[in-house]
Structure 1
Amino acid sequence: MKSIKIIAAFIFLGSIAINAQEAKVKSETTVNNHSDSMSYYQKRGVEDAQYELAFTAETKEKGKSFWKEQKEYEKALKQKDRKAYRAYMAAKKETYMEHYDHCDGHCHHDPMFYTYAGYYYYGYESPYYQRSYSPSTTTTRITVGAPSLRLGL
């Protein structure tokens, strides 16, 4: 009788240990799949941003439809998976920021680009931007007037 209880205890403890190991493997697999998903959306964000930076529309309508599709994709991604959306947008914003650092008048973007690029990086907010550097001196105007005095009788 004692040996049956010992065998039952070993079987019970063994099954608990096996289930715990399987749960650990499943959770590690889930974490790996999630990180793969994040890296996918980060890569996708960089690729989309690079395509947008090089995009020139043949017609105004095609340009509008392209940017509308991009916004719809981002909106759908945000509703589907917020973490993936944040990873996608962070990669996209970083790519826009890197481009802004070396982009001057030699880059010829279409007018619709500046409308939408301001959303990703604040430097693009003004169309056909030229970096304006603040002057090292400031000018002030001071006027001094003589007081007026009136006497009435």
Structure 2
Amino acid sequence: MTTFKSIVLIAVLGFSFVIQAQETEISNETTMDKKSYYQKRALEDAQYEQQFRAKTEAEEEAFWKEQKAYEKDLKRRDRKAHKAYMKGKRDAYAEHYEHCNHHCHHSDYYYHHATVYYYSYDGHYSHRYPRRNTVTTRINVSTPRIGLGLGI
């Protein structure tokens, strides 16, 4: 009977390790799916924002407030998802910038909101305004003292 209990215990433990390994694998897939989902969502949102034309200034202001609230809420709920979303937005805005230049007619709200993506997240456009680093070095050279005296 003791042998039977030992075999059953080993089988149960082995089965639980297999289940744990599968759950870890599923968790990693979910993380990757979440990252790609939020990057794809960011691309779609960026395209919508770039084509958005409000009928009134109040409507436009409400739209951008809502967008900012979504990003703030996402950051509060899930920082990794927020990071993936912002990276997707930055990439989408950078791509649009290359094609847009002065051909597109965006509103002031758009440009104000777009600066977050252009400058705040890893500085894709850092070549336009390079970050300045100041390095201070101090070099001291020791020289022997030489004294001259008149021996009178």
Class of the TM-score when normalised by the shorter of the 2 chains: 0.7 to 0.9
The CA distance in 2 between the partners of 1:86 and 1:34, in whole Å, is 13
1:114 to 88, 111, 114: 111
2:80 to 65, 79, 83: 83
Q: Which runs of 5+ in 2 are unaligned?
A: 120-127, 129-152
Q: What amino acid does structure 1 have at the position aligned with 2:40?
A: K
Task: Give the aligned partner of residue 65 of structure 2.
Answer: 68
Task: Give the aligned partner of residue 6 of structure 1.
Answer: 3
**Runs of 4+ displaced beyond 4 Å:** none
- What is the alpha-carbon root mean square deviation over aligned residues? 1.4
Q: How far did residue 5 of structure 1 move?
A: 2.5
Task: Give the aligned partner of residue 144 of structure 1.
Answer: none
The CA distance in 1 between the partners of 2:2 and 2:110, in whole Å, is 75
Instruction: Give matches, 1:98-113, under 5 Å.
Output: 98-113=95-110
Contact preservation (8 Å) 1:57, 1:110? no
Task: Determine whether 1:28 maps to 2:25.
Answer: yes
Contact preservation (8 Å) 1:42, 1:88? yes
Task: Give the number of equivalent residue pairs.
Answer: 120
The CA distance in 2 between the partners of 1:84 and 1:106, in whole Å, is 33
Task: Give the aligned partner of residue 97 of structure 1.
Answer: 94
Aligned residues with identical type, % of pairs: 43
Per the normalisation by structure 2, the TM-score is: 0.75
Q: Which SS does the other structure have where 2:53 is aligned?
A: coil
The CA distance in 2 between the partners of 1:105 and 1:17, in whole Å, is 64
